[in-house]
Structures are given as structure tokens and as C-alpha cells.
Amino acid sequence: MAQPISLDVNGRPAPVSVDDPDTPLLYVLRDDLGLHGPRFGCGLGQCGACTVHVDGQAVRSCITPVSSLKAGAKIVTLEGLGSLDKPHPVQAAFIAEQAAQCGYCINGMIMQSAALLNETPKPDETAIRQALAQNLCRCGTHQRIVRAVQRAAGTL
Amino acid sequence: MNAPVLSRRSLLLQGGALVVGFSLSGRGASAQTFAPVATNGFAKPVAPDRVDSFLALGADGHATIFSGKVDLGTGVETALSQIAAEELDLPLDRVTVVQGDTALTPDQGPTYGSLSIQKGGVEIRQAAATARARLVQMASERLGIPADALVSQNGTVHPKAGGQGLSYADLVKDGRLDLKVDPAVKTKDPAQFALVGKPVARVDIPEKMTGRFTYMQDYRVPGMVHARVVRPPTIGADLQGVDEASVADIPGLIKVVRQGNFLAVVTEKEWAAVKAAKQLKATWSTWEGLPEQDKLWQHVRATKVTKDDVTSSTGDAEAALGQAARKLEATYDFAIHTHGSIGPSCAIAELKDGFLTCWTASQMTHALRKQLAAMTGLAPEAVRCIYVEGSGCYGRNGHEDAAGDAALLARAVDRPVRVQWSRADEHGWDPKGPPTLIDLQAGLDPQGNVAAWSSQFHIPEGAAGNVPLVAASLADLPHETTMAPGNIIGNSALPYAFPNVRTVCHRLASTPFRPSWIRTPGRMQNTYANEAFLDECAAAAGADPLEYRLRALKDPRGIEVLTRVADLAKWQARPSPMKDVAGDVLRGRGISYVKYELNRTYVAGVAEVEVNRSTGQVRVPRFFVVQDCGQIINPDGVRNQLDGNVIQTVSRVLLEEVTFDRGAVTSLDWSSYPILTFPDVPEVVINLIDRPSEKPWGAGEPSAAIVPAAVSNAIFDATGVRVRSVPFTPAKVKAALQGA
């Protein structure tokens, strides 16, 4: 039976209905709310492409059942972080560093980095690499991604 | 849906001239909303010798470029825009590229082989230059001013002496750009380049960084339903039964589709398809047709050879080996690898009124169109494939197979079907880079120079072509029965001038997994063996590895990349290995060189490695690379490609290997098929040689070729031990160190 759920996504109420309480948040965001930021990469929490913020924390939405979210949890996706006109400082830094090739992983890189900088505003390069150790990139854009995070942190 | 829409209404044939009006609301998906060509009579030319196959000039002063080559995440959309805008004298933001739509774009061949600029870009350049020359001619006639007194600038043609000009839109209104591409057309003097050669920012990046880009995986079609495939548990298993009742409780289940050994579930919502695929009970026959993994190389050696390709023959290698003062022999192997796309493959197909439309991230939509036609029994004219950028593919991954799945399913349920592969589908069922086994022999003269070189490559038969679609094979629909591993004999011959050389590729009748090209196919594995074995010769001769290469290299552009990379890496001339090594972590450096396919891009690299003597762990902290790909279109794009090639290939040589049991792939996720992660990614130091007056050559593949040998050579330099089996895992390195 379809169950109504009220989510708070990118600062707006987002009422959705799910057939299965185990439905991962990723599918609700992409299929019900039409968002493109969080991406399906593995469905196993291994690659980070699906990362979103839940109450400011980086969370793997592909292994987060929608029913596990606390009432009132504030979900932010790459779209909510910033826009083309008003990019978040991390997004602006990634654009300035041209830190993408195919860009499929980039959602996770930006969301994970933005969460890192919230906690640690001036991480050194080792800390950035450690924070992104569970985010996979196959194109080999890692150097530019690290530089983009440094730029956003003002440590470049 | 947030996709650019090139609607039927906006594409009009006006007075014979193709005038395109654009409503571009987002990137990442090309034209798509109108029905297949054969039904609407829309006559956009696509013949590769016509100017208006490649470009259209809009009434709004914009140009649309129609490119058969597609952007696979390499930035080529931007580079092709630069080439076209340069040649048309238009600002970059007035050029848009439609990619890989079989109804709209010419067939410029698959997007592979590092040819998007070298072939695709050059063809677009010629078409644009032909168009510009015609526009100037038309203006000359209208204004009554000789063509050589006119200049084109910023989308207008005006007199050099000043005065009123005519815009391109004004000019094409009066006549057609219906003309043949002139291959001898005078293209712009590189000294006048304003856009080509500049590090222009990529057009797709802002939208990718803000979640506004539409990837194939994001694409949606009205009325679309979702499917997941249920692959056999072993490659050759037969489907014996399906218990449809096992998924009866799935909400929105539309159909369990079974055709031969092809099995899939189709549902209204995506998560339901994921659940149904997992829940569906099916019985399959057992199959154990794969070799034992730990006997893979014996299996390869025992596989029937169907023919020998002699890729080079100079002098008499056999006789010279017999007479050599010193003889060396070694065998190298390179494991089975997967592409490893971060986004599993995805496609949508719709069958309507006898016409099939397929939205796909395929690198070869024109070839895929023919495959889908053959598979479905439709005429090729009744099939349209439309490129929508997906996750990077690094060769022929599963994108085309997902398209085959979608086509089969669209026919079965009579609605547009989106097929999204799972991680295990991608790791388990994308075609693989085949295992490569190489035997080498060299004979040295009394001075230590190579007097004889003989090599034998054990690699599957076949070339580039169409890789059979999984759905067609499983459902026993028409499909190719030959292997298409790519042009994997490339760079089996050497770029050095040795007096006696024989290089032979033994082409094998089979290989354990359906093969295809992974990035730099064959050229990576072959260069690895050649450049590592050459290093063995240098060590045997007691020579510095750089100096040893330069002795036998006559090509000045090759010499330049090697000497420049040596400068960049502060190379110290001395033989390998290092002497007097102490401590647990040993450090070394290795050099490597390639002239790609012996007829284009030159690359040289130096790897620095750290080898932990007690664990066998190898790290590559830094990698230097110098490339000469002729004329550079976008140096920032080339740097991005070099970063990618080096990092991806370091990952391949240190970590990657497809594992399998007797029935199927067992490395089905990122923990069983690990790739390099941030803490271990090398610093890549790049120096580019730009030659604006030369031809532009490929940059997407060549630098991957030099990485494996540079790493192997550096490990030898650090430890005195030669590793000859990719991947260089801690277990292998430790065993080699203990055996030393």
C-alpha cells in the first residue's frame, strides 16, 4: 500500500508516497522528486555517487531507507546546495578548477567536501584525501578535486 | 525533465536552407522529441560529405554542429565547439553541438581510438571552413565586393575597408549551404587562432556541478516504465523455469519478460523493479565453462591459434638471436580488466508505430542502430539511436547492452522502457579487456645494444567492430558471432630502430569472457611488455634506461618527449637498479615511451614508486608525463585526459583484476574489484608540447600506454626485482622480493 511521507528537501516540504518503507532515499529523490544531483552508482554504499546531506551530515542515500529518516530531517541535495546563478562556494571552486571529466561521481565529491568543510574549515591535503577516501572516481580527476576543496577552504 | 529540446517545429527547412532555432534549457541530452525520420519526412542530411550534415546556421546567429563523435566525459564537446567557432568566426557561446543522433548527425565512426579530434574534429573543421568560404563568396556577390576584400568576423562578413556587412543569417536566407565538404579547403592559419589552443572552460561543467545536467541515467520519457534484468547465475546457464508467483506481491509489476535465457522484470516504479529482480525465483542449468582462474595463463597458452599477425619484421631476428653475445627471455601478463564505470549502464527504448527509438549513452550510436535493427528484425531506417551522455565508459562497456535490453523489453511491454543495470550487472556482464600474455626474447651485441628482438603476443582474434549484445545472445536473436576485442595488435611493433626484429600476434580462437576494448586496448598491454622488457635489456647492458632508449630512437619528436620528461623528473643518469638500498620502504624511478600506434601522439613518462619491502605494497606518489599530440585544441582538456590516463592506469596496474569461478565473474562490486582511491592517487606532473601548425592527434588514450612499464621499471629500480604480472599486488611483489 502506498504510504504518504513528508520530507523536507532543499528547504521545501516534499510530500511523496512510497509503496515500500525500505525504499532507499535515493529512489525517492530521483524518481519521485525528479532530482538529478544524487546519483545511482552501486546501491551498496561503496562509491559515494548518491551522497546527500541529512541535517548537515553526508549520507549515502542509496542505503538509507526513507523510513529511517527522523521526522523533520532536513535533506539537501546538490541542487539545494547552490544553483548555476548562486553556486555554493564548494561548487564554485569545483567549477573554477574544472574538476570533472564525466562528472558522474562529482555529486558525491561536492557533498562530501561541503560536509567536511562544515566540520573542518581548513583541512590539509591529507585530511581532504582521507575525507574523500570512500568516494570513487574512475576518470582520474582526483587531483583537481583536491585542489577544488583547497580552493573552497581558502588554502590553495 | 530538464533537457535541451530541439523540437520538430524548431527544425525547419526554409527555402532549402536548414535554419535551426534553439530552445536550450539544459545540457546533457540532445535532440529527442520528434518521431523517427522515416515517419516525419524530416530531411536533415547526414551524408559525411555534405556541409549541412555537419552544421546549420540559425536565424538567431547561432550555429549548430552535428557531430557523430560524442562527449564521453572527455570534454570533446567543448573542443569541437572551439574548432567550429574558430573556423566559422563565431563566438564560442553561439555554437552548440548535437551529438550522436543517428537521425541528425553524420556517421563519423565510433567514439573510440583517440580519434574524436583527430578525425571527428578535422571533419567538422573542413565542413566549417567550407561553409565560411561559401558565406564570404555569397557576401561578395551580394555586396559586389571581391571576396578577398571581405573578412568574416563575429558571425558577419564585412568589407576589410570598413562599412556595412552581412550577417550569416542574412546570407543563408537567400540560398542553401547545400554543398560538398571541400577536403582541400583552406582552413584558418593557426597564427590567427583565437579559440583553438586556448584552455577554454568546459561548457558542461557548471551544470554538472550544480545537479542541472541530464545524464542518460536521469533521462525520462513520458509513459516510461522501469526494468531490471535478471542475468543467468553463470555465463552459459540455460533458463529452466520462472516462478512468476514469486513476484506477484510487487506493487506495479507490469510483466516478467522471458525470451530464451533473457529474463527481466518491468514495473511502474524503479525501486519495485530492483526488488522484483532480487525476489524473482528462477531455475537455471549449471554451467562451468570458464577456466580455473589460477590456471588462466596455461589456458591462454593452450588456446587454439587461428592465425598469426606479423606486425613487424626486419632483418633476421631468429638468426641474430642465435648469434647474440647475450640472450634475454621473459614472459609478461596483464590480467582481465573491466571498464569500471561509476554509473552502471542505462538506456531507454520506445517502440511506436513500427519505429524504435533508443536513448543511449553508446559511444557508437550509428553502429548500435544496425545492431538493434538486426536484433529486432526492423529495417535500420526504422531505428533511431539518440546519444545522451552517461557515466564515463573508457571503451565499450555495457551501454550498448543496456540499449539491447531496452529494445527487447520495449517490444515486450509496448511502452517506453528504461533499463538501469545494477552494479553487479555492470561488473559481471560488461565485456572485458581480455587477458594478454606476451613472450619476449632479445639478443644483445657485445656493447649491450639490442641486436635482435622477438616477441609473441597471445591475444584473441578479431578487431574493432560490433560487440555482440547480451540481450540478443541470451534471447537467441540475430547477433554477431565473432569477437571484437578492438585493435589490440597496435604497438606490438616497436618505435625503435633495432637491426633484427620480429613481432607476432598469435590470434586466439577464444577468450574466457566476451571481449571488448578497454581504454587504450592492446596498446597499453603491449607497450607495457615492450617497455619493461627493454628496461631489462638496459639493465643487462648496465646502461641508463633513458640513454639506452635514445641510442635506438631516431625520431626527433620521440627524442624530445623523452628528454623533456627526464628534465621534468630531474632524471639522474645511472643504470637500474639502485645500489646500497636500506630501510623498509625502497624508492625508485622508471621511464617509458610510446609513439602511439607508431603513427601519431608521442608520450614519455617517469614513475616514482615506493615499495614496502615487508608488505610488498607499491605506491606511486608521483608520475611525470610529457606528450606531443601535435596541435592542441584545448590544453586544459588534454591535461585532464592525461591526469585521467595516468591515475586510471596506475589503478589498473596496482590493483585491478577480474576474478571468476568456473561459471561467472565473482568480482561484482567495488570491494572485490577495488580501484585506486584518494589517499593513494599520484601527483601527476604534466608538460605539453603544442605544435599549432601540425595535425591534431588523439589525447584520450596514448598516455595510458606508458604507465604500466614505467611502474614496473621503477619497482625494478627500487628493488632489483622485476615484476611481470599485472596487477602488481602486494602478494606478487612480496613473493618476487623473497625469491630474489
Write down the pLDDT at residue B582.
82
Rounded mean pLDDT of B383-400?
98
* Interface test with chain B among A104, A106, A130, by most B beta carbons within 10 Å: A104
In degrees, to the nearest 5, what angle opens at C-alpha B503 toward C-alphas B502 and B504?
Answer: 120
Write down the pLDDT at residue A156.
83
The rounded mean pLDDT for chain B is 94
Distance CA B576, CA B713 (A): 8
Helices B635-655, B523-540: inter-axial angle, 10-degree rounding: 70
In degrees, to the nearest 5, what angle opens at C-alpha B371 toward C-alphas B365 and B375?
Answer: 140
Judged against a pLDDT cut of 60, whether residue A2 lies above it is answered with: yes
Amino acid in position B499: P
Question: Mind listing the pLDDT tens digit for each residue in B516-552?
Answer: 999 999 999 999 999 999 999 999 999 999 999 999 9
Judged against a pLDDT cut of 70, whether residue B22 lies above it is answered with: no
User: Can the peptide bond before residue B478 be classed as cis, meaning omega within 30 degrees of 0?
Assistant: no
Question: Mind listing the pLDDT tens digit for each residue in A93-114?
Answer: 999 999 999 999 999 999 999 9
Q: Do B510 and B461 meet the contact criterion of CB atoms below 8 Å apart?
A: no
Rounded mean pLDDT of B390-407?
98
Q: Which of the 8 DSSP states describes residue A139?
A: S
- Spatial CA neighbour of A124 closest among A144, A150, A90, A92: A150
Residues 6+ apart with CB under 8 A from B373: B379, B380, B382, B383
Distance CA B625, CA B163 (A): 50
Distance CA B224, CA B273 (A): 13
Rounded mean pLDDT of A56-64?
98
Write down the pLDDT at residue B17.
39
Q: Do B276 and B228 meet the contact criterion of CB atoms below 8 Å apart?
A: yes
* Contacts A–B by Cβ distance under 8 A: 188
Query: Is A27 touching B (CB cutoff 8 A)?
Result: yes
Amino acid in position B200: V
pLDDT bucket at B740, cuts 50 / 70 / 90: confident
Amino acid in position B164: Q
Query: Is A76 touching B (CB cutoff 8 A)?
Result: no
Write down the pLDDT at residue B581.
75
Judged against a pLDDT cut of 50, whether residue B5 lies above it is answered with: no
Backbone torsions φ then ψ of B532, nearest 5 degrees = -80, -40
Percent of chain A, pLDDT > 70? 99
Write down the pLDDT at residue B6.
42
Write down the pLDDT at residue B205.
98
B209/A141 CB distance under 8 A: no
Q: Which of A87, A105, A141 sits opposite B644 (nearest CB)?
A: A141
Sign of CA dihedral A151, A153, A154, A156: negative
Write down the pLDDT at residue A18.
93
Rounded mean pLDDT of B668-682?
98
Question: Mind listing the pLDDT tens digit for each residue in B110-142?
Answer: 999 999 999 999 999 999 999 999 999 999 999
Write down the pLDDT at residue B28.
53
Q: How far is B701 from chain A (nearest CA, A)?
A: 12
Rounded mean pLDDT of B398-418?
98
Nearest CA in chain A to B685: A143
Rounded mean pLDDT of B10-30?
40
- How far is residue B422 from each of residues A35, A42, B230, B282, B490, measured CA to CA in Å? 20, 7, 10, 18, 33
Tell me which residue has cell 604534466.
B686
Q: How far is A126 from chain B (nearest CA, A)?
A: 7
Burial group, residue B257, by CB count within 10 angstroms (0-12, 13-18, 19+): buried
Q: Do A99 and A147 meet the contact criterion of CB atoms below 8 Å apart?
A: yes
Judged against a pLDDT cut of 90, whether residue B400 lies above it is answered with: yes
Q: Which of A35, A42, A110 sits opposite B423 (nearest CB)?
A: A42
Question: Mind listing the pLDDT tens digit for each residue in B438-479?
Answer: 999 999 999 999 999 999 999 999 999 999 999 999 999 999
Percent of chain B, pLDDT > 70? 94
Burial group, residue B175, by CB count within 10 angstroms (0-12, 13-18, 19+): middle
pLDDT bucket at B174, cuts 50 / 70 / 90: low
Q: Do B615 and B734 meet the contact criterion of CB atoms below 8 Å apart?
A: yes
Tell me which residue has cell 548500435.
B368
Q: Which three cell numbers stand for residue A77?
A: 541535495
In degrees, to the nearest 5, what angle opens at C-alpha B514 toward C-alphas B512 and B520?
Answer: 105
- How far is residue B472 from each of residues B285, B400, B404, measured CA to CA in Å? 19, 11, 7
Q: Which of B213, B641, B647 sits opposite A142 (nearest CB)?
A: B647
Question: Mind listing the pLDDT tens digit for each residue in B616-642?
Answer: 999 999 999 999 999 999 999 999 999
Percent of chain B, pLDDT > 90? 92
Judged against a pLDDT cut of 80, whether residue B289 lies above it is answered with: yes
Q: Which of B209, B275, B670 sits opposite A106 (nearest CB)?
A: B209
Amino acid in position B413: V
Q: Do B562 and B549 meet the contact criterion of CB atoms below 8 Å apart?
A: yes
Q: Which of A20, A132, A140 sits opposite B271 (nearest CB)?
A: A20
User: Can the peptide bond before residue B190 be classed as cis, meaning omega within 30 degrees of 0?
Assistant: no
Q: Which of B210, B394, B679 sits opposite A133 (nearest CB)?
A: B679
Rounded mean pLDDT of A58-83?
97
For the entire predicted model, the pTM comes to 0.96
Q: Do A139 and A101 meet the contact criterion of CB atoms below 8 Å apart?
A: yes
Question: Mind listing the pLDDT tens digit for each residue in B328-352?
Answer: 999 999 999 999 999 999 999 999 9
The CA-based dihedral angle spanning residues B130, B135, B137, B142, taken in that order and rounded to the nearest 10 degrees: 170
Rounded mean pLDDT of B128-157?
96
A140/B206 CB distance under 8 A: no
Rounded mean pLDDT of B678-699?
98
Q: Which three cell numbers stand for residue B703?
A: 598516455
Using a CB-CB distance cutoff of 8 angstroms, which residues of chain B are in contact with residue A20?
251, 271-272, 275
Using a CB-CB distance cutoff of 8 angstroms, which residues of chain A are in contact with residue B651?
140
Query: Is A53 touching B (CB cutoff 8 A)?
Result: no
Rounded mean pLDDT of B301-323?
98
Using a CB-CB distance cutoff of 8 angstroms, which residues of chain B are in contact with residue A100?
73, 202, 205, 208-209
Write down the pLDDT at residue B12.
38
Question: Mind listing the pLDDT tens digit for each residue in B253-274?
Answer: 999 999 999 999 999 999 999 9
> How many CB atoms lie under 10 A from the CB of residue B298?
12
pLDDT bucket at B176, cuts 50 / 70 / 90: low
Residues 6+ apart with CB under 8 A from B9: none
Q: Do B637 and B622 meet the contact criterion of CB atoms below 8 Å apart?
A: no
- Spatial CA neighbour of B372 closest among B587, B267, B307, B364: B364
Write down the pLDDT at residue B530.
98
